[in-house]
Structure 1
Amino acid sequence: MKELVRLLAQQLVNNPDAVEVKETRGDAATLLELRVAKEDLGRVIGKQGRTAKSIRTILNAVAARNNCKVNLEIVE
């Protein structure tokens, strides 16, 4: 799932080399932290958070197939 988030984010931003995804596995869920360049932050979040919500929806669909839970945080 880490690679999925990285692939989606790289397609959205102007500086794909700056995309970083950190994965932290917990007891209940996996936490994915997405970091992008400061000027690309708005592209990943989208108007009123629609793009971020769409990424989370795709991620939750994949997680449901694998019987796990995933949380996505977009970090400045």
Structure 2
Amino acid sequence: MLKDLISYIAKSLVDNPDAVEVSEIEGEQTSVIELKVAKEDLGKVIGKQGRTARAMRTIIGAASTKARKRAVLEIIE
């Protein structure tokens, strides 16, 4: 669910949506969602002063509260 959400948001932001890769590593209490985009799209996903990345992390936090599990977004270069 969270993986699909991040994938949708990232593909909407970037110029090269085919290069977007999202993987989820699930632990007992925490899920780590890894987002990988094309090098030229990295700035679009992070945003000015990290605002876009912070907004995505906020959305994940809210969505993971509903699932009663903690989720963390990692943007991989």
TM-score bin, normalised by smaller chain? over 0.9
Structure 1 residue 50 and structure 2 residue 51: aligned?
Answer: yes
- Divergent runs of 4+, >2 A: none
Aligned Cα root-mean-square deviation (Å): 0.6
Percent of aligned positions that are identical = 53
CA distance in 2, matches of 1:29, 1:65: 13
Letter in 1 for 2:46: I
Q: Shift of residue 28 of structure 1? A: 2.5
How many equivalent residue pairs?
76
* Greater alpha carbon shift after TM alignment, 35-44 vs 18-27: 18-27
TM normalised by structure 2 equals: 0.96
* Greater alpha carbon shift after TM alignment, 49-58 vs 22-31: 22-31
TM normalised by structure 1 equals: 0.97
Gaps of 5+ in 2: none
CA distance in 2, matches of 1:54, 1:41: 15
